[in-house]
Amino acid sequence: MSTLPSAVHTPRQVAERRTKGTHTSMFVRMLIRAAVLRRGRAASALLAMVVAAAVATAMMNLYVDVQAKLRTEFRNYGANVVVVAKEGQALPANTLASVESVLGSKALAVLFSYAVARTKDGQSVVVVGTDFNRARQLNRWWGVSHWPVSANEALVGMRAAGLVSPDRKPFELTFQGKAVQLATAGLLQTGAGEDSRIYIDQSEFQGWTGVTPTTLEIAVNGSLDEIQQAMKQLAAALPDVDVRPIRQIMEGEAKVLNKTRATLYASATLIVLTASLCVLATLIGWVFDRRRDFAIMKALGASERLVNGFFAAEAAVLGVVGAIFGFFVGIGVAAWIGRVNFHAPVIPRFSVFPYVLAGSVAVALISAILPIALLRRVEPAVILRGE
């Protein structure tokens, strides 16, 4: 029995035991007991923290990702860069291949070649040679009743149809004395110049007219800077042609995107601010509510540093746990918004986690320090008497 320290109670031995004993274990125990015994209050504080962190994560993820999502929507407007041959020349034969090797998968390029043919009764009509599969991807707004599939089928513009084949029967066109028979596969409606033209397959067009492509329309994906970068690369790779931006498309997109981004930014700021203030209010209430704990600790002789450290550690743990849970919930929310609105999930960005973590811990610390600073001025006796 003499080995048990509890059997010996001289003040000196007690003091010795206390200095040897680990303060840290007591500290951790206090933290755990505080969380377990007051789990209702701790849970509500944690919930507020999780919601705030989730909302912040979701908004940051969305803010970064929405621009990319919207850009793919804007690509439905079609080409934003055009490569044209210098006057009186045709595009070099390797143009398409070199554009594709420069830009790779982030661009869609379609060749167009033009010629003026004559109908049987001598009327002029513009015939365009192109790659239908690519044109279909590039110009999604084209209203097409049926895309050509087999040889000698043509896509006939709404207004051209009235001239060449009002009854949708096969028709004949001549170019420099060479005649060709074409069948109407479908009608094309765009409301613009395309309505007056006839589109046929590129190789058929070349075999018939001998005219090579003069225009390459490119839809480049990316931000304004990336597009300008791509144009510089193209101009360097293709010195014999003109690379021009389609300003109508580029500037319209930039304007709408900027406004959307600014609105989203303002909304995100407001929401994150509300969530942080909600956490602040909840935590301040929580800490203030525990002024008795605070007073008892002080009355039992705890140093200022220990008390401050205890509440700060508690807040920090809350901040870290809240940030971790909130981050995953927030990623889920962002993914859900992406799926509902853009039919494509928002890619989780782990790079925002440090910001969420730092923000959560900072808010938690502020809300712990504020009430403690207020309470420090009050005598423990006053608090314990319940005044």
* Helix residue ranges, H only, 112-179: 132-138, 158-164
What lies within 8 Å, CB to CB, of 303 at 6+ separation is: none
Nearer to other proteins (CB atom), residue 27 or residue 142: 142
Shortest distance in whole angstroms from residue 370 CB to other proteins: 12
Which range binds other proteins by CB under 8 A, 17-25, 222-230, 287-295, 321-329?
A: 287-295
Structural contact between residues 245 and 80, judged by C-beta atoms closer than 8 angstroms: yes
Query: How far apart (Å, rounded) are the C-alpha atoms in residues 279 and 271?
Result: 12
Nearer to other proteins (CB atom), residue 148 or residue 338: 338
* Binding flag, residue 278, other proteins (CB under 8 A): yes
Structural contact between residues 200 and 193, judged by C-beta atoms closer than 8 angstroms: no
Instruction: Identify the residue among 25, 166, 340, 377 touching other proteins (CB under 8 A).
Output: 340
Structural contact between residues 234 and 243, judged by C-beta atoms closer than 8 angstroms: yes
Binding characters for other proteins, 89-118, by CB under 8 A (x = yes): -------------------------x-x--
* Binding flag, residue 66, other proteins (CB under 8 A): yes
Shortest distance in whole angstroms from residue 275 CB to other proteins: 5
In sequence order, what are the beta bridge partners of 199? 128, 155
* Binding flag, residue 145, other proteins (CB under 8 A): no
* Binding flag, residue 64, other proteins (CB under 8 A): no
Contacts 24+ apart (CB under 8 A), 359-362: 359/53, 359/56, 359/276, 359/323, 360/49, 360/52, 360/53, 360/279, 360/319, 360/320, 360/322, 360/323, 360/326, 361/315, 361/316, 361/319, 361/320, 361/323, 362/319
Phi-psi region of 122 (alpha: psi -120 to 50; beta: other; left: phi over 0): left
Nearer to other proteins (CB atom), residue 70 or residue 306: 70
Binding characters for other proteins, 346-385, by CB under 8 A (x = yes): ----------------------------------------
Q: Which of 84, 131, 359 is nearest to 234 (CA)?
A: 84
Which range binds other proteins by CB under 8 A, 14-22, 91-99, 187-195, 349-357?
A: 187-195
* Binding flag, residue 139, other proteins (CB under 8 A): yes
Token pair belonging to 61 = 């993820």
Three-state secondary-structure class, residue 166: coil
Token pair belonging to 58 = 């979701």
Instruction: Identify the residue among 13, 263, 303, 351 touching other proteins (CB under 8 A).
Output: 263
Q: Which of 220, 238, 224, 250 is nearest to 104 (CA)?
A: 220
Nearer to other proteins (CB atom), residue 31 or residue 284: 284
Shortest distance in whole angstroms from residue 65 CB to other proteins: 11
Instruction: Identify the residue among 64, 68, 70, 316 touching other proteins (CB under 8 A).
Output: 70
Ranges within 3-62 binding other proteins (CB under 8 A): 41, 44, 47-48, 51-52, 55, 58-59, 62
Shortest distance in whole angstroms from residue 84 CB to other proteins: 7
